[in-house]
Structure 1
Amino acid sequence: MPRFVDRVVIHAKAGNGGRGCASVHREKFKPLGGPDGGNGGNGGSIVFVVDPQVHTLLDFHFHPHVDAPSGKQGMGNNRDGAAGEDLELRVPDGTVVVDADGRMLADLTGEGTRFEAAVGGRGGLGNAALSSKARRAPGFALLGEKGQARDLTLELKTVADVGLVGFPSAGKSSLVSVISAAKPKIADYPFTTLVPNLGVVSAGENTFTVADVPGLIPGASDGRGLGLDFLRHIERCAVLVHVVDCATMEPSRDPVSDIDALEAELKAYTPTLQGDSSLGDLVDRPRAVVLNKIDVPDARELADFLREEVAQRYGWPVFEISTVTRDGLRPLTFALWDMVAAYRAAQPVVAARRPVIRPIPVNESGFTVSSDGEGGFVVRGTRPERWIAQTDFTNDEAVGYLGDRLARLGVEDELLKQGAKSGCAVTIGDVTFDWEPQTPAGVEVTMSGRGTDLRLEQDDRVRADERKIARKQRRESRQYDEQS
């Protein structure tokens, strides 16, 4: 049996960037032809795309973990790694994307609307791209960035022109089934409808959509019954229609009290998207009242008695119908179309949003330094944290290059201004290290072997030239002792 899922939590993981390649061009008679390591490929992003053929979030319910492919590693001969393809996820029209903190990230309406939910990591540079006057043949390459990982909540808000509201068993599903081709489940017990049903209605040459929302009861705005789970499906409806059961056998209910109770719930409900889709607040939507089941003799008498009272009390149009005999359906459909067309024509035209580009000021340092309260310091910033993530700490030359970049950015000077001492802990991103201010950084450095940096060498092993000098000194000392 197909299931309707309108709220899911997914774990999105974008692809990681591929690492760069540290390679040296070699061929006959050119043993050291210069660096030729290619860059790593960018990781794939996760993108939501509105597809009108998708009507539920069921696929995400069974597969909540979505991972985009990662980029490939760079190769020698200046060959860049392949980029990971973006993972496009098809979602229904009307899907709202919310992050883990409850902030709305996107409201996806309209066929083809796209939203990049998780950004793929950038590939690391190869040593060919890192060569400079100071480093003509770098013996290192940058690692790829990790792709963005985040938990997202997807909520589906049905996109319909008319929303049918009413108590359980008021005949909403029956009404949808007779004015459209939709075939919802219909039975003679409350809460038969557990999911919203959407139908397309024709009014002459015009068509509009009608949504059947599961039955509401007093307290629905506080979560009673199925209220909170499905009240959001009427947020996008241009017209709300009260479907009233005129043949109810409950002595405590009557059409007027039913309408009053549901109006109180609609006013108490706070939409997650105020003014959603430029339709205004929920309480300001136009209304209509449908007195249903007039095929029952007592119900027809009650409808005739209440018609004028309801119209005078609320000022809304009132229609008497029977879904069994189909009386009054044609005038109802044409009247609903007129209400939908008039209401949408009265709304202001929503201008397409233009992309906003906010350039970073030229004097923007790009980082902040703060104390961690324990004698150490924490450096925060997009560039320093990205550089840390891209550095291979097993390669001394790569670490020296990182130190030069941080020095040029001004991190060293800022640490000195804030009183950082030699050996204090400095944390950047996920890495904590002991800071040594006496290490020269950002200056011209005499290059040593590939993958090494003279500033970081702390080798206590005695070298061959030192052993030779020591032997010569011992021989001279021994000869001096023999002569004396």
Structure 2
Amino acid sequence: MARFIDRVVLHISAGKGGNGCSSVHREKFKPLGGPDGGDGGRGGDVILEVDPNVHTLLDFHFHPHAKATNGTQGMGSNRDGSNGEDLVLKVPDGTMVLDSDGRILVDLVGEGTRYEAAQGGRGGLGNAALASRARKAPGFALLGEDGVERELVLELKSVADVGLVGFPSAGKSSLVSVLSAAKPKIADYPFTTLAPNLGVVSSGDTTFTVADVPGLIPGASEGRGLGLDFLRHLERCAVLAHVVDCATLEPGRDPISDIDALEAELAAYKPALSADSSLGDLADRPRVVILNKVDVPEAAELAEMVTAELLERGWPVFAISAVSREGLRPLTFALAQMVEQYRLAHPKAVARRPVIRPVAADDTGFSVVADPEIEGGFIVKGTRPERWVKQTQFDNDEAVGYLADRLARLGVEDALMKKGAQPGAAVTIGKVTFDWEPQTPAGVDLVRTGRGTDARIDQVDRIGADERKHARRVRRGLESLESED
């Protein structure tokens, strides 16, 4: 028997970007072919998409981990790696996505609505793309970026036209079974349904869905019983129908008191989304009262006694029997009419347009703060420095020199000097910690060396920052050559 799952925790991982390729073109009679390493492919994204054929989150309950494919590495002859395939996860209409802290990220309503849950990593540049006037034949390439890993909470709110509410054993599941082709579990002893039952009802030219929402008892809005777990399934219902057991033998219960108790819970419940689907609060939804089990003589008398009082509240009242099917035809027509009125006032939800938020290409923001764990150390925080460190092959001196040039152009070295960083200070960027050497001549003209090497890395007689500053001021005529000491 299929299980109804309406809340799951999903662990997703986007694909990793492929590494760039470091290659030199080799061809007969072309000794200086130049770099021809291609870029790595982009990692696949993880996308959530609303599918009308999916009605539960059961698949994610048994398979809570999902990962998109990685991009492949670039190749020689300027061949880029292939992109990873996007992983599209089908979710039911009415799925709400929350992060691990409980913040609502998106509400997926409408067939075809998509949400990019995790973005794939960008592929690393090959040495052909890294070639410049200073580096005509780079002996390194950039590594691909890791894909985004996230933990999401998916909650399902059933998208039904009519929601049946009532005490346990009021006959809600029986009513769904006789109005539609649904076959919920029904018993002749007191019990409560543990999962919402949905059925499709046809009345003339109108077709609508009916949901039996269980768990409503006094105190449900405060979490008693199953109330909070299933009250959210009423948030998108256009019509709320009170199903009242007129044949109950429990002392202190009657149709009026049952309805008043449930109305108090509906008024106290606060939806997670303040304006969910523009339906407003549950207390403002159209109501209909269904007095059930009138096939019992005592129940029929009780239903007749309370009908007048309920009509004074402005609610339509129908006396029916789910067993003998008495009164079902006028009830079906009335529900269809109320649903049609709602649909005319509220157009059907359509797939929402994707929101594109481009990242500024010239974003150079970064900060330098003291390291609380390492005395005299500093931490450099910023999207670009952290990304550059992840892209660097630290076993390649030329790649390390390229990273130093990028950080120097960004202003990281000057910022460290202003913070009072001393030579040999531990500087952490991302997950990498290294000893800072302020006298490293980053950004200057490169000395021609072998591929994959950088003469500045092994240089021992480096010119200090103070000497470079003094020489610059001498060239500008601001100081004399003798004032070096």
Fold match (TM-score > 0.5): yes
In structure 2, C-alpha distance between the alignment counterparts of 1:173 and 1:454, rounded to whole Å: 79
Q: Decide whether aligned partners of structure 1 residues 418 and 352 sit closer, same or farther in structure 2, where only a CA change above 3 A counts.
A: farther
Q: What is the match of residue 142 of structure 2?
A: 142
| Pairwise CA distance, 1:341 | 2.9
Q: Work out whether residues 278 and 350 of structure 1, in 8 Å CA contact, stay in contact via their aligned partners in 2.
A: no
Q: What is the match of residue 97 of structure 2?
A: 97
Q: Decide whether aligned partners of structure 1 residues 283 and 444 sit closer, same or farther in structure 2, where only a CA change above 3 A counts.
A: farther
Q: What is the match of residue 193 of structure 1?
A: 193
Q: What do the CA deviations read for 1:138-195 (whole angstroms, capped 9, x no partner)? A: 0000000001111111111110011101000001011111111111111123334211
In structure 1, C-alpha distance between the alignment counterparts of 2:218 and 2:376, rounded to whole Å: 59
Q: Decide whether aligned partners of structure 1 residues 190 and 367 sit closer, same or farther in structure 2, where only a CA change above 3 A counts.
A: farther
1:206 aligns with 2:213: no
Q: What is the match of residue 482 of structure 2?
A: none
Please say which of residues 420-429 and 250-259 is displaced more in the overlay. 420-429
Q: What is the match of residue 328 of structure 2?
A: 329
| Pairwise CA distance, 1:360 | 6.0
In structure 1, C-alpha distance between the alignment counterparts of 2:440 and 2:459, rounded to whole Å: 12
Q: What do the CA deviations read for 1:12-55 (whole angstroms, capped 9, x no partner)? A: 01111110110111122334411111111111111111111111
The AA in structure 1 aligned to 2:74 is: G
In structure 1, C-alpha distance between the alignment counterparts of 2:380 and 2:285, rounded to whole Å: 52
For residue 200 of structure 2, give the secondary structure of its aligned residue in structure 1.
strand
Q: Decide whether aligned partners of structure 1 residues 57 and 141 sit closer, same or farther in structure 2, where only a CA change above 3 A counts.
A: same
The AA in structure 2 aligned to 1:451 is: G
Q: What is the match of residue 6 of structure 1?
A: 6
Q: What is the match of residue 307 of structure 2?
A: 307
In structure 2, C-alpha distance between the alignment counterparts of 1:175 and 1:251, rounded to whole Å: 24
Q: Decide whether aligned partners of structure 1 residues 358 and 285 sit closer, same or farther in structure 2, where only a CA change above 3 A counts.
A: same
Q: What is the match of residue 317 of structure 2?
A: 318
Q: What is the match of residue 178 of structure 2?
A: 178
Q: What is the match of residue 47 of structure 1?
A: 47
| Pairwise CA distance, 1:453 | 0.9
Q: What is the match of residue 427 of structure 2?
A: 426
| Pairwise CA distance, 1:416 | 2.0
Q: What do the CA deviations read for 1:103-131 (whole angstroms, capped 9, x no partner)? A: 11221122211111111111101001100
Q: What is the match of residue 477 of structure 1?
A: none
In structure 2, C-alpha distance between the alignment counterparts of 1:73 and 1:351, rounded to whole Å: 39
Q: Work out whether residues 186 and 192 of structure 1, in 8 Å CA contact, stay in contact via their aligned partners in 2.
A: no
Q: Work out whether residues 425 and 436 of structure 2, in 8 Å CA contact, stay in contact via their aligned partners in 1.
A: yes
Gaps of 5+ in 2: 462-485
For residue 122 of structure 2, give the secondary structure of its aligned residue in structure 1.
coil
In structure 2, C-alpha distance between the alignment counterparts of 1:351 and 1:201, rounded to whole Å: 22
Q: What is the match of residue 337 of structure 2?
A: 338
In structure 2, C-alpha distance between the alignment counterparts of 1:218 and 1:434, rounded to whole Å: 65
For residue 24 of structure 2, give the secondary structure of its aligned residue in structure 1.
coil
Q: What is the match of residue 169 of structure 1?
A: 169
In structure 1, C-alpha distance between the alignment counterparts of 2:361 and 2:218, rounded to whole Å: 59
| Pairwise CA distance, 1:415 | 1.9
Q: Work out whether residues 109 and 351 of structure 2, in 8 Å CA contact, stay in contact via their aligned partners in 1.
A: no
Q: What is the match of residue 223 of structure 1?
A: 223
Q: What is the match of residue 399 of structure 2?
A: 398
Q: What is the match of residue 112 of structure 1?
A: 112
Q: What do the CA deviations read for 1:390-430 (whole angstroms, capped 9, x no partner)? A: 11111111111111111111222222222222222222111
Q: Decide whether aligned partners of structure 1 residues 250 and 356 sit closer, same or farther in structure 2, where only a CA change above 3 A counts.
A: closer
In structure 2, C-alpha distance between the alignment counterparts of 1:233 and 1:378, rounded to whole Å: 48
In structure 1, C-alpha distance between the alignment counterparts of 2:279 and 2:191, rounded to whole Å: 29
Q: What do the CA deviations read for 1:204-228 (whole angstroms, capped 9, x no partner)? A: 1111111111242112122222212
The AA in structure 2 aligned to 1:282 is: L
Q: Decide whether aligned partners of structure 1 residues 215 and 103 sit closer, same or farther in structure 2, where only a CA change above 3 A counts.
A: closer
Q: What is the match of residue 380 of structure 1?
A: 381
In structure 1, C-alpha distance between the alignment counterparts of 2:85 and 2:276, rounded to whole Å: 33
Question: Taking structure 1 as the reference length, what is the TM-score of the superposition?
Answer: 0.90
Q: What do the CA deviations read for 1:230-278 (whole angstroms, capped 9, x no partner)? A: 1111111111111000000101211111111111212222222222111
Q: Identity of counterpart residues, as a percentage?
A: 74
For residue 233 of structure 1, give the secondary structure of its aligned residue in structure 2.
helix
In structure 2, C-alpha distance between the alignment counterparts of 1:172 and 1:301, rounded to whole Å: 21
In structure 2, C-alpha distance between the alignment counterparts of 1:71 and 1:392, rounded to whole Å: 18
Please say which of residues 159-168 and 447-456 is displaced more in the overlay. 447-456
In structure 1, C-alpha distance between the alignment counterparts of 2:358 and 2:300, rounded to whole Å: 68
In structure 1, C-alpha distance between the alignment counterparts of 2:387 and 2:435, rounded to whole Å: 19
Q: What is the match of residue 27 of structure 2?
A: 27
Question: Taking structure 2 as the reference length, what is the TM-score of the superposition?
Answer: 0.90
Q: What do the CA deviations read for 1:275-301 (whole angstroms, capped 9, x no partner)? A: 211111222212111111111100010
Q: Decide whether aligned partners of structure 1 residues 102 and 189 sit closer, same or farther in structure 2, where only a CA change above 3 A counts.
A: same
Q: What do the CA deviations read for 1:322-381 (whole angstroms, capped 9, x no partner)? A: 112222212212222222233344458989866666666787532222223443222222
Counterpart mapping for 1:249-328 below 5 A: 249-312=249-312, 314-328=313-327
In structure 2, C-alpha distance between the alignment counterparts of 1:359 and 1:175, rounded to whole Å: 51
In structure 2, C-alpha distance between the alignment counterparts of 1:360 and 1:276, rounded to whole Å: 30
In structure 1, C-alpha distance between the alignment counterparts of 2:360 and 2:437, rounded to whole Å: 31
Q: Decide whether aligned partners of structure 1 residues 352 and 414 sit closer, same or farther in structure 2, where only a CA change above 3 A counts.
A: farther
In structure 1, C-alpha distance between the alignment counterparts of 2:206 and 2:97, rounded to whole Å: 32
The AA in structure 2 aligned to 1:324 is: V
Q: Work out whether residues 364 and 384 of structure 2, in 8 Å CA contact, stay in contact via their aligned partners in 1.
A: no
In structure 2, C-alpha distance between the alignment counterparts of 1:49 and 1:353, rounded to whole Å: 11
In structure 2, C-alpha distance between the alignment counterparts of 1:20 and 1:444, rounded to whole Å: 25
The AA in structure 1 aligned to 2:422 is: K
Q: What do the CA deviations read for 1:292-330 (whole angstroms, capped 9, x no partner)? A: 111110001000000011222x33221111112222212
For residue 397 of structure 1, give the secondary structure of its aligned residue in structure 2.
helix
In structure 2, C-alpha distance between the alignment counterparts of 1:350 and 1:65, rounded to whole Å: 30
Q: What is the match of residue 470 of structure 2?
A: none
In structure 1, C-alpha distance between the alignment counterparts of 2:153 and 2:425, rounded to whole Å: 42
Q: What do the CA deviations read for 1:441-461 (whole angstroms, capped 9, x no partner)? A: 12222231111111111589x
- What is the alpha-carbon root mean square deviation over aligned residues? 2.1
